[in-house]
Amino acid sequence: MNTNPWLLHRKTMFATRAARERDEHFFTPVVVPAPARTFRVAHVLRKFNPEEWGGTETAVQRLFDGLTEHDVHSVMFCPRLDRPVTHEPLARNGTVVKRFTACVPIIGISRENKRQMVSVGGNLMSFDLPLLLLRQPDLTVIHTHALGRIGAIAGTIAQARKIPFVVTIHGGLLDLPPAMKYSFNKPDYGGFEWGKIFGLFLQSRRLLERADAVLTCNPNEARLLREKFPDKRIQVQPHGIPVDLYRQDCRAEARVAFPAIRDRQVLLTVGRIDPVKNQCWLVDQAHEICRRHPRVLLVFVGSITDEAYGEEFKRKIESHGLHDKILFTGGLPPGDPRLIGLLQESKAFVLPSHSETFGIVLLEAWAAGTAVISSRTSGAMSLVKHGENGWLFDLNRPREFHDAVDATLSDSGWRERLAAAGHQLAANEFGVAVVAGKVKRLYEELIEEKSGGASLPPSRY
């Protein structure tokens, strides 16, 4: 037997080290990274017609694009159309589009009035949307961009699935001019509305009370909502824009598509042809604009969603003899090179709306490097700083508008300074990914609260 003290010491040392390594292998906990949380959000719209594209469609499309950058998967639910859709503009970046059957729940209403209700308002009803939302697997949030019965269906299914329910108000609810509130509330269409019984069952009038969060892009709307619902989570959530897209030079595409703009001072307005957008007011100002600035061409871009107003708009152009002073292009999809080129070719972008909850077209104009002139709506006033990044005017004081046009067209240096200040605002604060990141953080907070986690303070972005 070997009794050499040195060898005994070495054997003991190695045995102790081996035992320690064995113990560490068996008893030291192995840290396994937690799997990344997958967000799958159902977005519900009351209308999505690619041929009648408007601000809501643009805002939703860009929200989806931004959420995709944050690994949030979107599934959009919207009504079927009379004609098959050959191309879904929102079915990109992994977004799934599912269409449900919707109806105008009124007996004794004309086909024209039904179409009008679907285009610009109307409290629709659907009997297959509840089942579609119930069957959609792995939803973490239901987010409605519709109010009324469609929105209430979304809220009812969110409650049944015990997942967060978010409501976005796109067109204004409390922050509306009195005349518009009256026109929205009065029964214009006649007939018997059998859908009211379903509205009572779905508690559609309590939609905002049932929501876990309400989003609005307008600070004044948010203030009014907080006054009415003091315990509700209300978040100011602006719309995002792909700034880099509007930096691409598309002037050549616009000139080819619309030769009339060559060698003219273009004043551009973009929006659906609708009384709210107030294009007829601008047509009425055309003679005075052209008297002061003979080279001006007024360009109107937008699809006609109100047939009667569209006819009035065209009739005014004809009766005033303005064919060589006004160009009407019809609707153009957002991001279309022709539309971007028109923005870049314009001396100024004009927004004559009666009401504009946000005014995403102002951000698009700024992103394209164009100066803006806007009526004093709450949305525009939250973006435009008069004399710093644009002009504001009162519709009841046309002289303010003409002074703004005169200053914009006569002083190129001033016009460029206003446009540059607007561009900086759009680029720094309203990028698609930046805006969508705030929405994802809201989803995370709501999911945490629903799962029993510590309550987090409401977001106030």
Q: Which two tokens stand for residue 332?
A: 């153009």
Amino acid at 412: S
Hey, which CATH number is domain 39-240+434-450, 2.40.10.340, 3.40.190.10, 3.40.50.2000, 3.40.50.150?
Answer: 3.40.50.2000
Count of Cβ atoms closer than 10 Å to residue 280 Cβ: 16
Quote the pLDDT of residue 53: 79
- Taking the C-alpha atoms of residue 350 and residue 269, their distance in angstroms, rounded to an integer, is 5
Give kind and range of the element (H or E) at residue 61: helix 55-69
- Taking the C-alpha atoms of residue 399 and residue 340, their distance in angstroms, rounded to an integer, is 29
Give kind and range of the element (H or E) at residue 5: helix 5-27
Domains 39-240+434-450 and 243-429 share a fold: yes
Task: Please list, in sequence order, all residues whose beta carbon lies within 8 angstroms of the beta carbon of residue 105, skipping any fewer than 6 positions away.
Answer: 123, 124, 125, 149, 193, 194, 195, 196, 198
- Taking the C-alpha atoms of residue 211 and residue 159, their distance in angstroms, rounded to an integer, is 9
- Taking the C-alpha atoms of residue 375 and residue 425, their distance in angstroms, rounded to an integer, is 19
Count of Cβ atoms closer than 10 Å to residue 338 Cβ: 18
Quote the pLDDT of residue 34: 44
How many CA atoms, within 13 angstroms, populate the side-chain half-sphere of residue 307? 9
Q: How far is CA 270 from CA 308, 328, 365, 444, in A?
A: 19, 10, 10, 36
Hey, which residues does 307 pair with through a beta bridge? none
Hey, which residues does 78 pair with through a beta bridge? 99
Coil/strand/helix, residue 106: coil
Q: Are 185 and 205 in contact (CB under 8 A)?
A: no
Q: Using the 8-state DSSP alphabet, how is residue 431 labeled?
A: B
Among 364, 246, 347, smallest CA distance to 289 is for 347
| Global confidence as pTM | 0.75
Among 461, 315, 314, 432, smallest CA distance to 363 is for 432
- Taking the C-alpha atoms of residue 340 and residue 332, their distance in angstroms, rounded to an integer, is 10
Cα end-to-end distance, the chain, whole Å: 80
With b for 16 or more beta-carbon neighbours within 10 A and e for fewer, the 132-169 pattern comes to bbeebeebbbbbbbbbbbbbbbbbbbbeebebbbbbbb
Chain mean position to CA 430: 12
- Taking the C-alpha atoms of residue 148 and residue 170, their distance in angstroms, rounded to an integer, is 13
Quote the pLDDT of residue 115: 73
Return the HEC string of 222-260: HHHHHHHCCCCCEEECCCCECHHHHHCCCHHHHHHHCHH
Task: Please list, in sequence order, all residues whose beta carbon lies within 8 angstroms of the beta carbon of residue 164, skipping any fewer than 6 positions away.
Answer: 140, 141, 142, 158, 212, 213, 443, 446, 447, 449, 450
pLDDT tens, the chain, 461 aa long? 444 444 444 444 445 454 444 444 434 444 444 445 678 999 999 988 887 777 788 889 999 999 999 999 999 999 998 887 777 777 767 789 999 999 989 888 877 777 777 766 678 999 999 999 999 999 999 999 999 999 999 999 999 999 999 999 987 788 776 665 555 554 456 678 899 999 999 999 999 999 999 999 888 899 999 999 999 999 999 999 999 999 999 999 999 999 999 999 999 999 999 999 999 999 999 999 999 999 999 999 999 988 999 999 999 999 999 999 999 999 998 789 999 999 999 999 999 999 888 888 999 999 999 999 999 998 899 899 999 999 999 999 999 999 999 999 999 999 999 999 999 999 999 999 999 999 999 999 999 998 876 444 444 44
Coil/strand/helix, residue 343: helix
Domain residue spans of the chain:
39-240+434-450, 243-429
Quote the pLDDT of residue 178: 65
Which CATH superfamily is 243-429 part of? Glycogen Phosphorylase B; (3.40.50.2000)
